[in-house]
């Protein structure tokens, strides 16, 4: 269904030859990182799974375990992340976001605001299989208030299908949002949660236009003024993803590298999870909105094998 990724099926592909090359690269003293990163960033996920299976068959060893013992730091995290199938990758990220002390709301927000209903259903299923636990139960146990409610709505993955837009309902929803926020002393968060969490994408795009006409504000400005904290961030992420998922991720990547220090977890998560989906579109949005290419920013912000691998995933410069 997605054809805007930078990583596609490699041809001619030979899982056995790749497995042998990887074993050779990691065997004995020292590791040939170049071989590891070149193979893993240029094969798509389905092919990486075949390589892992060939690796086990040929050598009786687990490829991921070998990567973990031979590599270190951010480079290791990136290579191991590439080995996880898409839904396992998301389930794993969510599991770690709600594990132990403190919850990583940023990860919950990013994944649940940006994935399609079908993807959310798959993530829930995989979570149940991998961890023998219910994702919704785990998330409700670690979150609270309106933030929790919107996450639960998104977890239901029941967004209306995109089948034509009812202009009367567009008008009605825009009015409801206006009355729930700008026209009210305090805010009726429920209304924002229900409308933004359940209406179809094309319907909501029309609602945002209509809202602007009625109120004179962009819906983002209202959310900014009327809500705060984690709920505000989640509502904004939902709105941005309704408008354009690639633009949302371009912004996420930009802020992961802007200023002092790099948020490597976010950088790795987005580059890995979008590399076969829409990274070409993300690159375009990045160039358009930030007056530099994603490639250049990664080049400037990272180093070593980690940088080489990220640049290969990025798949080219847009300048």
How many angstroms from the chain centroid is the CA of residue 296? 21
Q: What is the pLDDT of residue 2?
A: 62
Does pTM surpass 0.85? yes
Q: How many residues does the chain have?
A: 319
Q: What is the pLDDT of residue 182?
A: 86
Tell me if 15 sits within 8 A of 50, measured CB to CB. yes
- Mean pLDDT score, 148-159: 97
- 3-class DSSP string for the chain: CCCCCCCCCCCCCCHHHHHHHHHHHHCCCCCCHHHHHHHHHHCCHHHHHHHHHHHHHHHCCCHHHHHHHHCCHHHHHHHHHHCCCHHHHHHHHHHHHCCCCCCCHHHHHHHHHHCCHHHHHHHHHHHHHHHCCCHHHHHHHHCCHHHHHHHHHHHHCCCCCCCCCCHHHHHHHHHHHHHHCCCCCCCCHHHHHHHHHHCCHHHHHHHHHHHHHHHCCCHHHHHHHHCCHHHHHHHHHHHHHHHCHHHHHHHHHHHHHCCCCCCHHHHHHHHHHHCCCCHHHHHHHHHHHHCCCHHHHHHHHCCHHHHHHHHHHHCCCCC
- Mean pLDDT score, 67-90: 97
CA distances from 283 to 79, 211, 258, 299 (A): 21, 30, 16, 14
CATH superfamily of 15-85: Annexin (1.10.220.10)
Please measure the distance between the N-terminal and C-terminal CA atoms of the chain and give it in whole angstroms: 28
- Mean pLDDT score, 19-29: 96
- Mean pLDDT score, 113-118: 97
Q: What is the pLDDT of residue 240?
A: 98
Q: Which sequence spans correspond to the domains of the chain?
A: 15-85, 87-156, 167-243, 245-314
CATH number, domain 167-243: 1.10.220.10
Q: What is the pLDDT of residue 1?
A: 56
CATH superfamily of 245-314: Annexin (1.10.220.10)
CATH number, domain 87-156: 1.10.220.10
Asked which of 101-105, 121-125, 213-217 is least confident by mean pLDDT, the reply is: 101-105
Is there a shared CATH topology between the 15-85 domain and the 167-243 domain?
A: yes
Mean pLDDT of the chain: 96
Q: What is the pLDDT of residue 142?
A: 94
- Mean pLDDT score, 175-198: 93
**How do residues 214-264 score in pLDDT, each as one tens digit?**
999 999 999 999 999 999 999 999 999 999 999 999 999 999 999 888 999
């Amino acid at each position: 269904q997605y054809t805007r990724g930078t990583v596609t099926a490699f041809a001619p592909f030979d899982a056995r030859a790749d497995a042998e090359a990887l074993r050779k690269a990691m065997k004995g003293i020292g590791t040939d990182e170049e071989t590891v990163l070149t193979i893993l960033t240029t094969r798509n996920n389905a092919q990486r799974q075949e390589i892992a299976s060939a690796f086990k068959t040929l050598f009786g060893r687990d490829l991921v375990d070998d990567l973990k013992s031979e590599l270190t730091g951010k480079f290791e995290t990136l290579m191991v992340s590439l080995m996880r199938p898409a839904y396992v990758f998301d389930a794993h990220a969510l599991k770690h976001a709600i594990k132990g002390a403190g919850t990583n709301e940023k990860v919950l927000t990013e994944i649940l605001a940006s994935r399609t209903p079908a993807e959310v259903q798959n993530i829930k299923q995989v979570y149940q299989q991998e961890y023998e636990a219910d994702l919704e139960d785990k998330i409700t146990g670690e979150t609270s208030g309106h933030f929790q409610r919107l996450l639960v709505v998104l977890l239901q993955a029941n967004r209306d299908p995109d089948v034509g837009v009812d202009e009367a309902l567009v008008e009605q929803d825009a009015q409801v949002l206006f009355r729930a926020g700008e026209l009210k002393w305090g805010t009726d968060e429920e209304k924002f949660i229900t409308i933004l969490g359940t209406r179809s994408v094309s319907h909501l795009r029309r609602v945002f236009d209509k809202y602007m006409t009625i109120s004179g504000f962009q819906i983002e400005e209202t959310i900014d003024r009327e809500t705060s904290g984690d709920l505000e961030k989640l509502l904004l992420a939902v709105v941005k993803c309704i408008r354009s998922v690639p633009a949302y991720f371009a912004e996420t990547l930009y802020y992961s590298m802007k200023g002092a220090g790099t948020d490597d977890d976010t950088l790795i998560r987005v580059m890995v999870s979008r590399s076969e989906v829409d990274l070409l579109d993300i690159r375009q949005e990045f160039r358009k909105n930030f007056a530099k290419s994603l490639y250049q920013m990664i080049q400037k912000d990272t180093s070593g094998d980690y940088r080489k691998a990220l640049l290969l995933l990025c798949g080219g410069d847009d300048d």
